[in-house]
Amino acid sequence: METLELKKDKIYFKLKQDIVSGMLLSGSKMLSEPELARKLGVGRITLRASFDRLEHDGFIKRIQGKGTFVYPDGATTDVATIMVIHGADSGFESPSHYIVPEIIRCATEKQFKVFAMTEAAINMFSDSDIKVFVKSNHIIGIAAVTNRFTGQEPILKKMKASGVPIVITHGAMDDTKITGLSCIAVSQRDGWGEAIAYLTKLGHQRIAVIGKTGASFRGYSLSETLQLLKKYHAVPDEALIHVTNFDRQQIIETVKDLWSVPASRPTAILCFSDFYAIYVYDALKELKLRIPHDVAVMGICGYPDALLLNPPLSTIDFGYAKFAEMAVEMLQEPGKWIDPIHGKGILRVKPFKLIKRESTEPQ
């Protein structure tokens, strides 16, 4: 359960970001405390604690008998600002939904302002518009929460036109080479191999693998995945390898198909992501199978809310919060992350972590 301290901080950062980004206009009157508390899903005590801090920091002004107003000085641009560009129009399973709030939190703690904008929105503006905006709003750098570039994306030209340092946050391993920009990435291939190695160490030989349509198996092809299973002494049975869309019913049907042939049922399931694992749990419940006693389940990515699963999910944690921390750090000292010889960005490979929980190891 979240403490009052955590709740008020979350509300503070959300409202501050709404003010800095212009969602709450300078000089505008805010909703009444009861209305805003209801909208945000918090108590009035929590909201008042957040208001106290916002007023202290000059973002709002409470006038007795009139209400609470966005204070004009709260929207000034004399404080250095980090711009965040993300693809929030993607599904809820997109890492951007979890990395962006962490960037806002880290940047705010270091006394930066943050301006967040979607990739689709920034592509609507001209290069000159972006240059003027960056200069007039004291933007010192861009954290781009997007990846897998070909080098031809319009967003690349838009970002480079800004004239400020850019860090591709949660990038792919070859994004630096393709774009010339600094990048933070995690080796998803190594993470996938680590997951298979871990399951085989637990004694699983028949490991079902559920990949994502269009994204293969964290960088492995079907044949490479079979070779990887063989490498770690698991059964390289193509009947255990499936690819499906991120769709609850499709994932449930995939799991049921795995159990349709009794002689070839797996003892463990490795999922493309923790999000896939959520629906695998649903399927196993329908089949009345116990986790991990009848079948172990393993995820990939480290989705924070996967802790709600029962039993808790084992996963390869990519560490979303650390991506944000590293991005802000790199924008503070951009010169450290440029190759002095070629003048191009440097790739920082972020380590992942194997998280062992009850979905693979009963307590």
Residue 113 has pLDDT above 80, yes or no: yes
Q: What is the pLDDT of residues 8-28, one digit of tens each?
A: 878 888 888 777 766 777 777
Encode pLDDT of 324-333 as tens digits. Answer: 999 999 999 9
For residue 296, give the nearest of 189, 154, 200, 175 by alpha carbon. Answer: 200
H or E element at residue 60: strand 60-63
pLDDT > 80? residue 112: yes
Q: How far is CA 265 from CA 202, 208, 222, in A?
A: 17, 8, 19
- Strand segments (E) across 250-345: 268-271, 296-301, 314-317
Structural domains in the chain, sorted by start: 4-75 (1.10.10.10), 81-186+320-332 (3.40.50.2300), 188-317 (3.40.50.2300)
* Whether pLDDT at 335 is above 90: no
Is-contact 264 240, C-beta < 8 A? yes
Gap between the Cα atoms of 265 and 206, Å rounded: 7
Whether 75 shows a pLDDT value over 70: the answer reads no
Cα 98 from chain centroid?
A: 4
Q: How many other C-beta atoms lie within 10 A of the C-beta of residue 116? A: 21
Residues 223-255 have pLDDT tens digits of: 999 999 999 999 999 999 999 999 999 999 999
Looking at residue 162, the DSSP 8-state letter turns out to be T
CB 242 within 8 A of CB 209: yes
pTM: 0.75
| pLDDT band at residue 103 under the 50/70/90 scheme | very high
